[in-house]
Structure 1
Amino acid sequence: MPRALVISAPASGTGKTTLTLALARAFRDRGIAVQCFKSGPDYIDPAFHAAATGRTSVNVDSWAMSRETIEGLIARGQDADLVLAEGSMGLFDGVATPGRSGTGASADIAEMMGWPVLLVLDPAGQAQTAAAVASGLRDFRPGVRIAGVILNRIASPRHETLIRHAMEAANIPVLGALPRHAPIALPERHLGLVQAEEFSRLDELIGEAARLVAERVDLDGLLRLAGEAALTPKAMGFAALNPSYKGDAIPPGKRVALARDAAFSFIYPHILEGWRAAGAEIVPFSPLADEGPDESADVCWLPGGYPELHAGKIAANLRFRKRLRNFAETRPVHGECGGYMVLGRALTDKEGMRHDMTGLLGLETSFAKRKMHLGYRKAALHAPMPGFAAGARLRGHEFHYATILAQPDTPLAIVRDANGAEVTETGSRRGNVSGTFFHLIAEDR
């Protein structure tokens, strides 16, 4: 039975992702099979996890997913030696109104699965106070257990000593300390990390981070703490009772043409796995390589990504645009976020240059004046979209900086935020073409 840990922190920006990758690779280098998960709606980190472990990582989300779905996804870790679930934001950060099985906080997964938490603390500008922060997190919510901490970006040996003494007095184990200037940070851009497939030195960087962690973190002690609350549960019992469980994703068609390249890559791994498990065949194509959807497909899906960074090339790729328009005359086409923008009439980049898109919808968007749109979304469909009938209720997540200049087509859905307030990003539908600004996570059954 595998051991398990949730890797979390008091806030974003403490180095959770880099440490998760480093620990995963360090244990893998020891011959330990590591299964990673991502708590929350981040669609970039799972690809980094896969690069570190050699195993597909998926998201588990207490706001959007039922407990059954979460346990079914987590059951994939039953053949691993160690499970590492990377949290998002701070340990207890979620939305105000609970969703299907929680608020979306990493603490929900820790409590649901009985997994202890490894805290990543960045004690910049403080010393003993770091122990007070850790103590507060430890005592905040019954059912969530803090196993220990790793100190990140320590300024000096004296700094480390002060914090270690305070942690010892608070009875909080310190598993390791990493120096402030360790060269293991991952590059970022406005939606988070650069995508794993874009980073040519990723494997090298993970290896460097793993070597540093192996020197400065008590890996044996970490395993012992993880072992105290091994995969208790319920996920293992669920897997035994439901050996044929393959998730609850509904494929949009039997043969799905999927846009897949540096401009179109934001789709949750569990969605693709669910489609395949339900019998769908996925046929990738690259709009950046001027490819269109396979003619044998019965539906086309354009995920989100960074089309604003490639808008000029997309506009110039006439073969892609023509083949997509021809496809849409007889078969459904759906786009999410960036994919939705490309289905629209035009996209203005951050320099203010307007680029023609495919024109299948009337949507016009601009990055010249950035406005952040971020949060969970609940949608009730007015009309069908691939995989779902009119009236279906969906849960997803929206994160982009585009401003809507025009959204003239028939609204696809009533879309609300996690607290029930309506949002203007309703999605659109015209003929066989539909699009949403949110990324689908699960149907709200």
Structure 2
Amino acid sequence: MRPTPGLLISAPASGSGKTTVMLGLCRALVEDGLAVQPFKSGPDYIDPAFHRAACGRASFNLDSWAMDGALLDAIAAQGQDADMVLAEGAMGLFDGAARDGASGNGASADIARRMGWPVVLVVDVSGQAQSAAAVAEGFRRLRLDLPFAGVILNRVASPRHERLVRDGMAAAGLTVLGALPRRPDLSLPERHLGLVQAGEHGDLAAILTRYAAFVRDHVDLAAIRAAAGGCARPVGEGMAIAPPAQRIAWAQDAAFSFTYPHLLAAWRRAGAEILPFSPLADEAPAAEADLVWLPGGYPELHAGRLAAAEAFRAGLRRHAEDRPVYGECGGYMALGEGLIDAQGARHRMAGLLGLVTSHADRRLHLGYRQARLLAPAVGHAAGAVLRGHEFHYSTVVEQPDAPLAHVMDPDGVTQAETGSWRGRVAGTFFHFVAPQRGAEAA
């Protein structure tokens, strides 16, 4: 089968304008009648929701550190029925973990090379002119096995500025696919874990329409489509990630929204039933559920409402009497005794674990994680090795329960955030991406 042609939208660094270009291209191409399949390189759970809003199709993460090659290929196959693939990179094109995982080090370049998707490099040219070509040329030549489509210039100050930058790119033999003038009014609002979530924008459809018009006015869409490419990849049973239970009560609202779509898709494919409920609406998990899962999100922004959610808390307690409950990052914090918000006020949480966390003393915890379970969790036995990612600012004030896992970063350095468990309740700060296949118990 001929592969769906695709492009990977990347940049030299974060903040260069990748998301603006990605969303504008997605919506503009959809407006032109194309079925566009979006992807996100790396461990991000906010951007895919914007992709879905722009394309009308679920966006999936592709992570070359946490996923093996078979899983990457199976997830990429979600775009087989599309007209075009657009994948958004993370950070800079070559940024990843210090050590390789099963199929790479997590860099966006890994995905572009594996899938054969040419790179569109978004270059912030503010503060430079012809010199921008040296940056772009360095990125094109660092890995000569990487397909390279061209550059989109961003934050162009004036027609003269654009001409000078284009002259430099032409001298280097680089294709300019578009030039975007400065438009600070098109930036999306952010908070401490990234963009404000897609579901919180009441006018998101109008925002995406403006992005599409902006890109349509300043990017050569015909050249973008012509530059797309790809290589055929074998697709076996790589999507076969066993569900942790048959019926999974899944918390889903503004406080608990950080979910990797490939997990839910794989579990549903295996026959599992996902039963959504909203803790913020004071809903208890479904009585028939075999497992309750609280994903990450922003419980610290809704701590007062969670503290008052008596039906939710009572439902968790009933479930935990004879069935497992699991929480990730924000979900883990919600399972504890208390959460201290940024103003120093302590809020009562579920009390199923002894954990107390604080946002009053903010400390960044960020990076890939490899965890060897010390107790059963997420459908895996003790000794299983899981791969994932940690990103939060909370600090642990109290953690009296037994550690759930021995957690290391990609360099093999042991991490203090072990997660914890008590009875049938367990949680961790890292977000589970995939099991490490073939890992044996120590």
TM-score grouping bracket, smaller chain normalisation: over 0.9
| Equivalent residue number for residue 123 of structure 1 | 125
Selected match of 1:71 from 70, 73, 87: 73
CA drift of 1:64 comes to 0.5
Selected match of 1:376 from 355, 368, 383: 368
Contact 1:335 1:435 in 2 (8 A): yes
Q: In 2, distance between residues paired with 1:171 and 1:430?
A: 61
| Equivalent residue number for residue 8 of structure 1 | 10
Q: In 2, distance between residues paired with 1:322 and 1:79?
A: 45
Aligned pairs for 1:232-381 (under 5 A) are 232-234=231-233, 238-239=234-235, 242=236, 245=237, 247-381=239-373
Corresponding residue SS for 1:265: strand
- What amino acid maps onto 1:273 in structure 2? A
CA drift of 1:118 comes to 0.2
Corresponding residue SS for 1:308: helix
Decide which moves more: 317-326 or 363-372. Answer: 317-326
Cα deviation per residue 1:320-371 (whole Å; 9 max; x = unaligned)?
1111111111110000000000000100000010111111001110000100
**In the alignment, does 2:159 pair up with 1:162?**
no
Corresponding residue SS for 1:55: coil
Contact 2:49 2:59 in 1 (8 A): yes
- What amino acid maps onto 1:433 in structure 2? V
Q: In 1, distance between residues paired with 2:375 and 2:389?
A: 20
Selected match of 2:107 from 105, 108, 111: 105
Q: In 1, distance between residues paired with 2:171 and 2:379?
A: 56
CA drift of 1:144 comes to 1.0
Corresponding residue SS for 1:376: strand
Corresponding residue SS for 1:358: coil
Q: In 2, distance between residues paired with 1:248 and 1:100?
A: 16
Corresponding residue SS for 2:241: coil
Question: Where does the alignment leave 5 or more consecutive residues of structure 1 unmatched?
Answer: none
| Equivalent residue number for residue 208 of structure 1 | 210
- What amino acid maps onto 2:427 in structure 1? G
**In the alignment, does 2:392 pair up with 1:397?**
no
Question: Where does the alignment leave 5 or more consecutive residues of structure 2 unmatched?
Answer: 438-442
CA drift of 1:404 comes to 0.7
Q: In 2, distance between residues paired with 1:115 and 1:379?
A: 31
Q: In 2, distance between residues paired with 1:231 and 1:145?
A: 9
- What amino acid maps onto 2:29 in structure 1? F
- What amino acid maps onto 2:356 in structure 1? E
CA drift of 1:248 comes to 2.8
Corresponding residue SS for 2:353: coil
| Equivalent residue number for residue 135 of structure 2 | 133
Decide which moves more: 121-130 or 433-442. Answer: 121-130
| Equivalent residue number for residue 84 of structure 1 | 86
Cα deviation per residue 1:273-326 (whole Å; 9 max; x = unaligned)?
111111110001100000111101111000000000000110011111111111
CA drift of 1:123 comes to 1.1
- What amino acid maps onto 2:285 in structure 1? P
Q: In 1, distance between residues paired with 2:98 and 2:244?
A: 32
CA drift of 1:246 comes to 6.7
CA drift of 1:182 comes to 5.3
| Equivalent residue number for residue 378 of structure 2 | 386
Contact 1:246 1:274 in 2 (8 A): no
Aligned pairs for 1:27-46 (under 5 A) are 27-46=29-48
- The RMSD of aligned alpha carbons is 1.0
Q: In 2, distance between residues paired with 1:382 and 1:75?
A: 34
Q: In 2, distance between residues paired with 1:246 and 1:22?
A: 31
Runs of 4+ in 1 over 6 A off after TM superposition: none
Q: In 1, distance between residues paired with 2:317 and 2:20?
A: 42
Cα deviation per residue 1:175-233 (whole Å; 9 max; x = unaligned)?
1111112532111111001111111111110111101111111000111111xxx2212
CA drift of 1:386 comes to 3.0
Identity %: 60
- What amino acid maps onto 1:270 in structure 2? H
| Equivalent residue number for residue 230 of structure 2 | 231
Q: In 2, distance between residues paired with 1:440 and 1:249?
A: 12
CA drift of 1:132 comes to 0.4
CA drift of 1:252 comes to 1.4
**In the alignment, does 2:183 pair up with 1:184?**
no
CA drift of 1:25 comes to 0.7
Selected match of 1:94 from 84, 93, 96: 96
Q: In 1, distance between residues paired with 2:378 and 2:363?
A: 29
| Equivalent residue number for residue 218 of structure 1 | 220
Q: In 2, distance between residues paired with 1:248 and 1:421?
A: 30
